[in-house]
Structures are given as C-alpha cells and as structure tokens.
Amino acid sequence: MNSFTDWLAFSKGEDLAHDVFLLSKHFPKEETYSLSSQIRRSTRSVCSNLAESHAKRRYPKHFYAKLTDALGENNETLVWLRFARRCKYIDNKQYRQFEAKNAEVGKLLNYMITNPKKFGLHQ
C-alpha cells in the first residue's frame, strides 16, 4: 500500500463523509452553522487525519496521535448523528444505517492502531 487512499478505513470513511453530506443537505436551514457544519467537519476529519497519519508514519507517536484523532472524530460523528435523530431530522432506520457505517470505520481505525506495521509505520 503506497497511499492512504488505499486504506480501507480511508475508503469507508470517505463514503461515510459523502453520505453524511448528502443527508445533511436536508437538515433545516437553522442548522447550517451548527449541526450540519459540525457533522460534515467531523466525518471529513476522519479522512484528513488518516492522510496526516500516513505522512507521519516515520514517527510512531505522531502516527498514533493522528489515528487516535481520526477515531475521536469518528466518535464525534456518532454524537452528531444521535442529535440528528433526537431532533427528528433522521428516523431510527436512517440512524441505524449510519451508526453501522460509523461502527465499521471505528473498527478499521482500531485495527490500524493495533496493527501499525501493516500500515507502514516505521519503527
């Protein structure tokens, strides 16, 4: 794997970010600078942190820090999805679908954290 774009966590994270973007386009206008903006930012940050971790793979502490940041942003996304459901911007079925995608990204990130050499970490 030569690039972060080859990582399954990146691919699944990018898909989730796109799906969240499409979903959030239907949120009320009053949420433009709050929920819509926040959920878009957190999903996109998963991918940007993966890109940064790839660039910092020569430095173990920085590599782990960026993967941990990606995991934190993924967890934040789940919080925003919960608010979207609670505010009735999405129904339970939509929430469960997004929750499952979010959980998959989280599992992939945890796998990367526990198996760093498979992702190019230089030690």
Instruction: Give the start-to-end residue ranges of the domains of the chain.
Output: 4-116
Q: Give the relative orientation of helices 92-114 and 8-24 as an angle to the nearest 10 degrees.
A: 150
CATH code of domain 4-116 = 1.20.1440.60
pLDDT confidence band for 1 (50 / 70 / 90): low
At 122 the pLDDT is 76
Name which of 41-45, 79-83, 93-97, 115-119 the model is least confident about: 115-119
pLDDT confidence band for 45 (50 / 70 / 90): very high
Candidates 83, 56, 81; CA nearest to 67 is 56
pLDDT at position 5 over 60: yes
> Stretch 64-86: mean pLDDT, rounded?
98
Provide the whole-model pTM.
Answer: 0.95
Name which of 34-43, 46-55, 74-83, 113-122 the model is least confident about: 113-122
Q: What is the rounded distance in angstroms from the CA atom of residue 34 to the CA atom of residue 22? A: 16
